[in-house]
Amino acid sequence: MTREPIGNGLYVFCSDNHKFGTDAVLLADFARPRSATNICDLCAGCGIIPLLICRDVPDIPVTAVELQPNASALLQQAVSCNHLEGRVTPVCADLKTLDSRLHGRFDLVTVNPPYQKAGSGKMSGNDAVDIARFELACTLRDVANAAAKLLVSKGRLCMCYPPARLSEACCILSDAGLEPKRLRMVCKAPDAPPELLLLEAVKAARPGLRILPALFTGTNGNISEELQRIYAPFSKSLKPISKGGSDHG
């Protein structure tokens, strides 16, 4: 287990099985609320997204839902270390069967879900890693249905996902009553294909998707100015964009 600084005196705890990648950091920046609100992070892993939100926006309560006990315990340790009791609430639970008392309570749901369908690639044999990367414990439809229950009307869902599954994601979100409203592609350079997408959907909203300018990360060891801004609070080198989903970089 390691304790890694994320800026503003806060730390995240990681293990070999439960880490975070640039995808989670970019999602936290994309989803960042402008004012106090009530947030739920699904597939929370080691809790990097709730911790980054607490770092950047004061006085926001975040509920962090994670299925795997060892990952949820890492966030609980970070809560104690960072004195975030009362602000971050780790919930070790299956998002498909969340307590109904959480329904309709949140203005924002964030999620870095598993990226690959079950059976679509070679698994590692490590259950913790495979659950994070493949749709073994939950599918995107499960995530969308859970978010739709958790959100208030006009509440936002912000997620990151592989570009190859964009059309599928939009259909699934729309079926759940979450209308895709804002999309940003993440590319290494203007002439490079996207590696990641950042997508916002709004509950009970009218159709109409706004395409934002692409976020460029940089090539050949040259980090883009925007990525430098996003990582400025960190006191360590950049991590590669996660290819596996959840908290595995």
Cα–Cα dist 128/246, whole Å: 11
Cα–Cα dist 121/123, whole Å: 6
Q: Is the per-residue pLDDT at 174 higher than 80?
A: yes
Given a contact cutoff of 8 angstroms between Cβ atoms, the answer to whether 102 and 13 are in contact is no
Q: Kindly report, residue by residue over 228-245, the tens digit of the pLDDT.
A: 999 999 865 455 454 444
Residue 186 within any structural domain of the chain: yes
Section 82-92 average pLDDT: 97
Q: Which of 4, 79, 68 is nearest to 42 (CA)?
A: 68
Each residue of 125-163: b (16+ CB within 10 Å) or e?
A: eeebbbbbbbbbbbbbebbbbbbbbbbbeebbbbbbbbe
- Residue 52, domain CATH: 3.40.50.150
Tokens matching residue 155: 């509440």
Q: Is the per-residue pLDDT at 247 higher than 90?
A: no
Q: How many helices (H) and strands (E) does the chain have?
A: 7, 11
Q: Is the per-residue pLDDT at 142 higher than 50?
A: yes
Who's near 106: CB < 8 A, 6+ residues apart? 38, 39, 40, 63, 150, 151, 152, 155
Cα–Cα dist 40/113, whole Å: 14
Residue type, 24: A
Going by pLDDT thresholds of 50, 70 and 90, the confidence category of residue 249 is: very low
Domain count, the chain: 1
Q: Look-up: residue for tokens 């870095």?
A: 112
Going by pLDDT thresholds of 50, 70 and 90, the confidence category of residue 34 is: confident
Q: Kindly report, residue by residue over 201-219, the tens digit of the pLDDT.
A: 999 999 999 999 999 999 9
Residue 239 within any structural domain of the chain: no
Q: Is the per-residue pLDDT at 145 higher than 50?
A: yes
Residue 103 within any structural domain of the chain: yes
Share above pLDDT 70 across residues of the chain, in percent, rounded to a whole number: 94
Tokens matching residue 70: 């060892």
Residue type, 217: T
Q: Which of 87, 28, 27 is nearest to 58 (CA)?
A: 87
The whole-number pLDDT of residue 122 equals: 87
The whole-number pLDDT of residue 36 equals: 67
Cα–Cα dist 38/36, whole Å: 7
Q: Go through the chain and tell me how many residues it has.
A: 249
Q: Is the per-residue pLDDT at 110 higher than 50?
A: yes
The whole-number pLDDT of residue 246 equals: 46
Residue 80 within any structural domain of the chain: yes
pLDDT, mean over the chain: 93
Residue 97 lies in domain: 2-231
The whole-number pLDDT of residue 239 equals: 53
Residue 242 within any structural domain of the chain: no
| Type and span of the H or E element at 179 | strand 178-187
Residue 245 within any structural domain of the chain: no
Q: Kindly report, residue by residue over 36-75, the tens digit of the pLDDT.
A: 689 999 999 999 999 999 999 988 999 999 999 999 999 9
Q: Kindly report, residue by residue over 114-129, the tens digit of the pLDDT.
A: 999 998 888 888 999 9
Residue 133 within any structural domain of the chain: yes
| Type and span of the H or E element at 174 | helix 166-175
Q: Kindly report, residue by residue over 181-198, the tens digit of the pLDDT.
A: 999 999 999 999 999 999
Residue 226 within any structural domain of the chain: yes
